[in-house]
């Protein structure tokens, strides 16, 4: 088999079985099983590629399905193994030969299909507005899902340490403070972010405006395809990538993303489309909102009135830290809020167990992975926990609600936005 035909499997070739990655792997730490760690999974994937194990082999399916795809094993690997590429290749084979689990297919269909997803998100927002999800949040599948929905707005209305820049009707306030000359950025709105985190889009637009950007919508964009890629639906992810390339064109303006999962996928379009030069150029334009803000300074705001002694804890999304290797910019954004006591969570580099649809299809192990993070957080709770990915916001928020914690969960740009409002930048 040629290197090209081997696809992402070739990225696994450098593995020397040293095991340095094991302690960075949340599922290995949770189960203690070598086959639930990267080294064991690499052996399983190689056996799948060589045809020594069938795609429906129960052990192979079990241990690959249990992988979060968090890529926490990549930065610690001294041999530069591209674990994520190998996993995508293996999952594409699994999806082709044994199909995608029904729960995952239904969730993908409901959350990413144009038209239908709008109805689903509208119903979810209606339910969220009743305040019931926050009251019903807890452990167990349904109650955890309620907590996830409540967490899309900071924590079910139980706490409001962070007041953003929304007008009375939720409209985007126009910043008065804007350095000239401005540059343009295209905002990639995504599916879940657009459906349940429109307030984060507003905060993104306002904070970028304060820092000299005119933010425009990316016209007719479609889903980035991240959830499809994670589920092994390689062809569907490629089709979505081509549609986004066609509609977003070949311009020079940066494409700004406030979801780490979407950003990692968009930055990977070059590889996904087999090195297509247009896809490589597109990927080079994609920037996390924290990267754009950090490059500009960013403009400092005013102090925030958090509960006395309350600090802010930052938890890095895996698809920002490991997949995009963006570590400092979110902290730079938070440090633009004067006097803010910012620290990273004790296990910031470890996955929270969200991992796209993983929290739905591997609920038990997902909660086990989450439990360690919650243990740290509830032992020394911050006033606000902040992270830049919708899945992480929902998973951590639901876990905190289920634990009876009053910690608010927010995207980093929401804190900067609140700081700019306090400074009077929005009039």
List residues binding ligand SF4 (CB under 6 A). 15-21, 24-27, 38-39, 41-42, 67-73, 77, 79, 81, 83
Half-sphere exposure of 314 (CA within 13 A, CB side): 24
CB 198 within 8 A of CB 166: no
Residue closer to ligand SF4 by CB (options 79, 184) is: 79
CB 46 within 8 A of CB 6: no
In whole angstroms, the minimum distance from the beta carbon of 325 to ligand SF4 comes to 15
Gap between the Cα atoms of 127 and 120, Å rounded: 11
In whole angstroms, the minimum distance from the beta carbon of 105 to ligand SF4 comes to 22
Gap between the Cα atoms of 184 and 215, Å rounded: 6
Gap between the Cα atoms of 397 and 224, Å rounded: 24
What are residue 256's DSSP bridge partners?
A: 187, 287
In whole angstroms, the minimum distance from the beta carbon of 29 to ligand SF4 comes to 9
Residue closer to ligand SF4 by CB (options 86, 270) is: 86
CB 359 within 8 A of CB 68: no
Residue closer to ligand SF4 by CB (options 91, 202) is: 91
In whole angstroms, what separates CA 284 from the centre of its chain? Answer: 19
Residue closer to ligand SF4 by CB (options 262, 369) is: 369
DSSP category for residue 287: E
Residue closer to ligand SF4 by CB (options 27, 405) is: 27
In whole angstroms, the minimum distance from the beta carbon of 22 to ligand SF4 comes to 7
Gap between the Cα atoms of 121 and 191, Å rounded: 9
Residue closer to ligand SF4 by CB (options 86, 254) is: 86
In whole angstroms, the minimum distance from the beta carbon of 278 to ligand SF4 comes to 29
In whole angstroms, the minimum distance from the beta carbon of 26 to ligand SF4 comes to 6
CB 370 within 8 A of CB 352: yes
401 three-state secondary structure: helix
Residue closer to ligand SF4 by CB (options 214, 327) is: 327
Gap between the Cα atoms of 73 and 88, Å rounded: 15
In whole angstroms, the minimum distance from the beta carbon of 132 to ligand SF4 comes to 34
Start-to-end C-alpha separation, the chain: 64
């Amino acid at each position: 088999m040629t290197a090209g035909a081997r696809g992402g499997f070739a990225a696994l070739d450098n593995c020397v079985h040293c095991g340095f990655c094991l302690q960075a792997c949340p599922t290995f730490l949770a189960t203690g099983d070598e086959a639930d760690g990267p080294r064991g999974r690499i052996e399983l994937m190689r056996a799948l590629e060589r045809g020594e194990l069938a795609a429906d082999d129960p052990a192979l399916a079990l241990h690959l399905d249990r992988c979060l795809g968090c890529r926490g094993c990549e930065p610690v690997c001294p041999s530069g193994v591209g674990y994520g590429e190998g996993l995508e290749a293996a999952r594409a084979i699994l999806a082709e030969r044994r199909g995608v689990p029904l729960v995952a297919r239904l969730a993908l269909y409901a959350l990413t299909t144009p038209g239908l997803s709008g109805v689903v998100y509208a119903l979810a927002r209606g339910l969220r507005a009743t305040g019931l999800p926050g009251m019903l949040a807890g452990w167990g599948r349904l109650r955890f899902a309620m907590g996830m929905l409540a967490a899309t707005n900071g924590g079910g209305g139980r706490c409001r340490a962070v007041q953003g820049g929304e007008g009375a009707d939720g409209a985007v306030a126009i910043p008065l403070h804007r350095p000239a000359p401005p540059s343009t950025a295209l905002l990639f709105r995504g599916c879940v972010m657009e459906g349940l985190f429109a307030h984060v889009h507003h905060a993104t637009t306002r904070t970028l405006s304060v820092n000299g950007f005119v933010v425009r919508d990316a016209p007719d964009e479609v889903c980035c395809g991240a959830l499809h890629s994670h589920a092994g639906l390689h062809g569907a992810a490629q089709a979505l990538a081509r549609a986004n390339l066609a509609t977003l064109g070949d311009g020079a303006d940066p494409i700004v993303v406030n979801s780490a999962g979407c950003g990692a996928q968009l930055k990977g379009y070059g590889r996904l489309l087999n090195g297509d030069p247009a896809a490589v150029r597109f990927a080079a334009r994609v920037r996390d909102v924290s990267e754009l803000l950090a490059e500009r300074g960013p403009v400092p705001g005013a102090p925030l009135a958090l509960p006395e002694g309350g600090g802010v804890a930052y938890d890095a999304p895996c698809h920002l830290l490991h997949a995009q290797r963006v570590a400092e910019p979110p902290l730079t954004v938070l440090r633009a809020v004067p006097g803010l006591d910012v620290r990273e969570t004790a296990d910031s580099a470890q996955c929270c167990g969200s991992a796209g649809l993983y929290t739905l299809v591997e609920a038990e192990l997902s909660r086990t992975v989450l439990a360690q993070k919650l243990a740290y957080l509830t032992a020394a709770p911050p006033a606000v926990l902040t992270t830049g990915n919708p899945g992480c916001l929902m998973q951590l928020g639901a876990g905190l609600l289920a634990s009876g914690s009053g910690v608010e969960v927010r995207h980093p740009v929401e804190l900067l936005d609140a700081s700019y409002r306090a400074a009077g930048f929005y009039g």
